[in-house]
Amino acid sequence: MSSYRHRPRMQNRLMGLAAIIGGVMIALTAVGPLAAEPQARELVAFSPSQFPEGLTVAPDGTILVGILSTGEIMRVTPRGTASKFAQIPLPKGGILVGLAAVDSTNLYALVFSNDESNGVWSVSQHGMKVVQVAKLPVGALPNDLVLDRLGRLFITDTIGGRVFRVQTSGAVETWAQDRLLLGNVAAPGPLGFPLGANGVALAPGGDSLYVGVSEGARIVRIPIRADGSAGPLAVVAENPALDGADGIVVGPNGTIYVAVNAQNQIVAVDPATARVDVVASGSIFRFPAGPRFSPDFKTLYVTNFDGLVFFGLAPGPGKTGLLAIDFDALAPQLAAAIRPPRTGDAGLVPSSRTVSISTLGALVALAGAVVVSGGVFAARRRHDEIDRSAALL
């Protein structure tokens, strides 16, 4: 008799559970199938004293990696053979950041320092000739650079929220400056200064620049007018999955790929729709920095910078390297650990809990299923985020 009385209650619970499961299946269908960990492999493992950050790929497929801590530029073949190509003379406290290849033997390199070495350096004659070709203001933090078809360089300033342009003559000008390019000025993170404009890339037509803003968790577009001046800035996308954005690169279909070192993941941004998807993540990533494609766009290369160890925010030794990811393996994934941006730490100071979702659409669908079932669904889990952190580069 008592079991008969409880049968309706049990049926209600089962119906509620079925509704939740159905809602979950609908949500997963809406965002696509679960993606396996991408086919990322370590092409080169560097020594614990080498922290690779800058990366460029020459038109012939030669990979050039800048060692931030030593000023070395390493040449890497697509098969993973590494050798020293050039040496940038770093002053005390200076670091080597972005690289931009002209071809396999000529490139530009960025140095950040608190003296006159701060600026652009040219490497030529198969690495034998290294000279400074442009000086940037002391106090600016040059981070990444891109070369346009006219031979001009566009350089981000992470602290100043601006983009410099360097003419072929070496003349430097502030080409664009806007609050959209600034980091969290009011509450800087562990490094003591805001982390704003970071990675930079040219749009496919060469008519605009894309800039990643680390603490803004956004991608910004800057039009290049016919006279070469900067047009009005616009936000392409702003999303918690971009919190801690570092280097960026544009893929063959115009999609922007972002290395988000704060969250150890690669994110794809559709500039036409502002859709943001995590397309690669997993334990193989350790503070990923500058992403670059092979000339045939079949492989995405990413430097594993392990910045937390470099900045003394995590115990060593560092585990750094160069990763290679099959382009066809880049697909939207679930379980992207995100958190609200604008915290002044580029999203790196861990919260006690993170929400695991693929897209906001999935979360809404799940919430709808819970409402239908009359229950309350709380899906939270702990994620092994970086203990304390700062996304500088």
Please give the pLDDT value at position 108: 98
Using CB atoms within 10 Å of the CB of residue 196, give its burial: 0 to 12 exposed, 13 to 18 middle, 19+ buried. Answer: buried
Rounded to the nearest 10 degrees, what angle do helices 2-31 and 360-373 cross at?
A: 160
d(CA 333, CA 345): 25
Please give the pLDDT value at position 348: 37
Q: 365-389, pLDDT tens digit by residue?
A: 323 333 333 333 333 333 333 333 3
Please name the residues in contact with 123: beta carbons below 8 A apart, sequence gap of 6 or more: 73, 85, 86, 88, 106, 107, 108, 109, 129, 130
User: What are the beta bridge partners of residue 250?
Assistant: 256
Q: Is 28 left (phi over 0), alpha (psi -120 to 50) or beta?
A: alpha
Please name the residues in contact with 388: beta carbons below 8 A apart, sequence gap of 6 or more: 190, 308, 313, 314, 348, 349, 350
Q: Are 136 and 174 a contacting pair, CB within 8 Å?
A: no
What domains are there in the chain, each with its CATH number?
40-330 (2.120.10.30)
**pTM check: above 0.95:** no
Please give the pLDDT value at position 38: 56
- For residue 332, is the peptide bond before it cis, meaning its omega torsion is within 30 degrees of 0? no
Please give the pLDDT value at position 37: 54
Q: Are 310 and 286 a contacting pair, CB within 8 Å?
A: no
Please give the pLDDT value at position 191: 80
Please give the pLDDT value at position 332: 87
**Helix (H) / strand (E) containing 362:** helix 360-373
Instruction: State which residues of the chain have pLDDT below 50.
Output: 1-36, 335-393
Please give the pLDDT value at position 347: 35
